[in-house]
Amino acid sequence: MPSALPLGDPAPADGILPESSLDGAADRDFGVYLHVPFCRVRCGYCDFNTYTATELRGVSQSDYAGHAVAEVGFAARALAASGLPQRPVSTVFLGGGTPTLLPPSDLGAMLGAVRDAWGLAPGAEVTTEANPDSVDADDLRRLADAGFTRVSFGMQSAVPHVLATLERTHDPERIPLVVEWAREAGLQVSLDLIYGTPGESLSDWERSLDTALACAPDHLSAYSLIVEAGTKLARQIKSGQVPEPDEDLQADMYELADARLAAAGYDWYEVSNWSRDGDHRSRHNLSYWLGHDWWGIGPGAHSHVGGVRWWNVKHPAAYAQRVLAGESPAAGRETLDTETRRVERVLLLTRIREGIRTAELSAEGRREIAGLIADGLIDGKAALAGSVTLTLRGRLLADAVVRRLLAEV
């Protein structure tokens, strides 16, 4: 099963938020994340809250859209009762799992519920994740007609033996085809890649980069493989069936990706994300890094509004029982104190290209800046202009940079 939820405090059944969540709400964007927790197969490296058909126990995949719509209605009532200002939704993101295992009509119904509850801001970004083998040209046209503006394909690799190790089921030759179909439907396209899979060579990774760039996506994400405790891959590594990922090789792969993407006209805007220009950044993910508000719909989904964070019960059956009863599906929540919010702000803003203003750091953190420049981890010119911005070396060692900025050395 996926990783455990945090503990936190009990969440009220009515979902009412404390008054502190209202502070500055009008200055924060509001987004909605819709979690679709279904997969055809469970990939060995994945610890997301997902379920195959045999794991659902007492709930039907075909009923899920109705459950999500019920939580959207609950969320709208809870936010209004909490006194939060009515804000149109700036970004909607359907993730999983594999959202496109549901028919486009179900995904459209979920989006329609969000639109009816809050309205969509002009030019709102509406994204769904998709596996390359979970959509065809008609599906993508129907998603565009329903109001989706963007699709993020889980490409991961173009190399069959790498996909096999990851237990991904799609044919890599299908990638250019689905990208072409998405463009014909008028959708922006993002490709997600994973590097550092056991057995993947630098030339394998270069082949995946070449294949992705040949598709000319608007946006590209590249994540190093992290072996999560409790996953099948973790057990395979522990038993010696597959080798551990090589961190030095992963660093070489990241540097290769950055060089190849930059040469092709892509700019990094977050440690693991590149886009053709500012208009093609993932605005939904940026809202997380910038500390804006979002409500997470679905089993195991996390939400954040004004320094209050909560997370839903994990199993779709328990989730359905609560939302159909008109109760909050939250399993627990926490109100972040000032110091926790400061630490998280440093952690998140340091990862993006614009960085964090030096004025937001503690005196101890500001004293680290000269040393970070000398170590080649942050940009000296940006620091003179008042911002902490990571260099390429700094992106490879981002966690260490954050520890120093928080004076945790």
pLDDT tens readout for residues 212-250: 999 999 999 999 999 999 998 999 999 999 999 999 999
For 247-269, the three-class secondary structure string (H helix, E strand, C coil) is: HHHHHHHHHHHHHHHHHCCCEEE
Residue 279 lies in a domain: yes
One domain, residues 72 and 195: yes
One domain, residues 202 and 341: no
User: Which of 264, 288, 312 is the C-terminal boundary of a domain?
Assistant: 288
One domain, residues 259 and 355: no
Question: For residue 361, which of 347, 375, 374 has the smallest C-alpha distance?
Answer: 347
11 has pLDDT over 70: yes
- What CATH number is given to the structural domain containing 207? 3.20.20.70
Q: Can you say how many angstroms the Cα of residue 341 is from the centroid of all Cα atoms in its chain?
A: 20
Question: Are 99 and 154 in contact, with CB atoms under 8 Å apart?
Answer: no
Residue 400 lies in a domain: yes
Residue 329 lies in a domain: no
User: Which of 259, 288, 317 is the C-terminal boundary of a domain?
Assistant: 288
Average of per-residue pLDDT values in the chain: 95
Range of the domain at 394: 336-408
- Spatial strand order of the sheet with 120-130 comes to 267-270, 273-275, 219-224, 188-195, 150-156, 120-130, 89-96, 30-36, 293-297, 302-305, 308-312, 330-335
pTM: 0.95
Round to whole Å and give the CA distance between 127 and 129. Answer: 7
**What does the pLDDT look like over 364-409, one tens digit per residue?**
999 999 999 999 999 999 999 999 999 999 999 999 999 999 986 4
What's the domain count of the chain?
2
User: Which of 258, 273, 288 is the C-terminal boundary of a domain?
Assistant: 288
One domain, residues 387 and 274: no
One domain, residues 200 and 123: yes
74 has pLDDT over 90: yes
Residue 2 lies in a domain: no
290 has pLDDT over 80: yes
Residue 323 lies in a domain: no
Question: Are 2 and 25 in contact, with CB atoms under 8 Å apart?
Answer: no
One domain, residues 19 and 133: yes
Q: What DSSP element (H or E) covers 95? A: strand 89-96
One domain, residues 152 and 268: yes
One domain, residues 279 and 341: no
Q: Which residues contact 126 (CB under 8 A, 6 or more apart)?
A: 91, 92, 111, 120, 147, 148, 149, 150
Residue 319 lies in a domain: no
